[in-house]
Amino acid sequence: MSFDYINALLKKATKRTPIWVMRQAGRYLPEYRATRKQAGDFLSLCKNPELACEVTLQPIDRFDLDAAILFSDILTIPDAMGLGLYFSEGEGPKFKNPIKSLQDIKKLPTNLNNNLTYVFDSVSTIKKALNNSVPLIGFSGSPWTLATYMIEGSSSKTFANTKKMLFNQPKSLHLLLDKLAHSVIAYLNQQILSGADSVMIFDTWGGVLSKQNYLDFSLDYMAKIVKGVKVQYPNIPVTLFSKNGGKHLTYIADTGCDGIGVDWTVELSQVQQQIGDKVAIQGNLDPAVLYASPEVIEREVKKVLSQFKGDTGHVFNLGHGITPDVDPENMKVLVDCVHAFSKR
């Protein structure tokens, strides 16, 4: 079956610009909130393949989206390494056993897939339920982003402990990142084996690094992952997304990835000027536009579509995840506008 989403990433012909949205299965949907309540908490929802499948399909059932994305979390790998992931209501993810020393890093296991079978069961369950209606995206966090949570013990504004390690013990940080890259390659390859049609790496915190540190501590490890996936699955598209990564686009395009996710701080025409038609581009509407009226959403969609020059190689998305207090009707307006204004 031919999918516009896959074709766009591979720069093949599409009938229209495909769209999916980061966090499209989430708290803005009342049906999601009901299922999460049924599960008990967020982590229990992630670890229940049937319920993870249910919430993955909720936005697909409601909107004319061009791809489904596995419902899971980027922190499954650190959890499988034994760091004790938990979520405090209103406070985000935390770890009971954060990384504090080189010895902690040396003790971390890297063969984790036996501890992540619930994720692969979710992928295969979702793939079967989709019945080839749309492709399924698998994903992982980037090694740098995972490392920040593992070292800080939670989300952070300053990344003080991680940056202390970067400058004072770079070899220790490289060891951690190398272990994470090894684990992510195996994790993504198993997702593909379980049914994922494409995979994405979320580098949420790559943008907090200087250029050289970004290249050395974030992008280099994502490039290793791209290579590790492509060796096994050369035809599976891989997309990289570094939040606030607009200044590094030429380097990202050189990793061998198929697509680059960009946020709303760059214009698609500028992205194309920098990287040409080397890779596909995903993005990049400001999520806050979804608070606006249908007329404003329509105008902003047209603006993004007009910035992209060419017939294929663009996957429409938000520049970051959809926010929990968005009206689902506005999401429908977004999806329908993208399709209406981009028909070939």
Rounded to 10 degrees, the C-alpha dihedral 62/68/74/80 comes to 110
Return d(Cα 344, Cα 342) in angstroms, integer: 6
Q: Which of 149, 187, 214, 221 is catalytic?
A: 149
Return d(Cα 325, Cα 321) in angstroms, integer: 12
Give yes or no: 73 in active site: yes
Ordered DSSP codes for 81-149 = III-EEEETTTEEEESS---SHHHHHH-----GGG-HHHHHHHHHHHHHHTTSS-EEEEEE-HHHHHHH
Dihedral sign for Cα 254, 256, 259, 260, please: negative
3-class DSSP assignment, residue 322: coil
Q: Which of 4, 5, 66, 73 is catalytic?
A: 73
Return d(Cα 230, Cα 238) in angstroms, integer: 8
Q: Which of 27, 33, 121, 233 is catalytic?
A: 27
Q: Which of 5, 23, 66, 263 is catalytic?
A: 23
Give yes or no: 23 in active site: yes
| Residue recorded with tokens 């229940």 | 48
- Residues 4 and 303: beta-carbon distance below 8 Å: no
Return d(Cα 333, Cα 106) in angstroms, integer: 50
Return d(Cα 217, Cα 241) in angstroms, integer: 15
Buried b (16+ CB within 10 A) or exposed e, 213-238: bbebbbbbbbbbbbebbbeebeebbb
Return d(Cα 137, Cα 232) in angstroms, integer: 17
Structure tokens at 13: 């012909």
Give yes or no: 149 in active site: yes
Q: Which of 5, 36, 79, 221 is catalytic?
A: 36
DSSP class of residue 12? Answer: -
State the CB neighbour count (10 A cutoff) for residue 195.
19
Beta pairing partners, 199: 138, 238
Q: How far is CA 119 from the centre of its chain?
A: 15
Give yes or no: 4 in active site: no
As annotated, the active-site residues are: 23, 27, 36, 73, 149
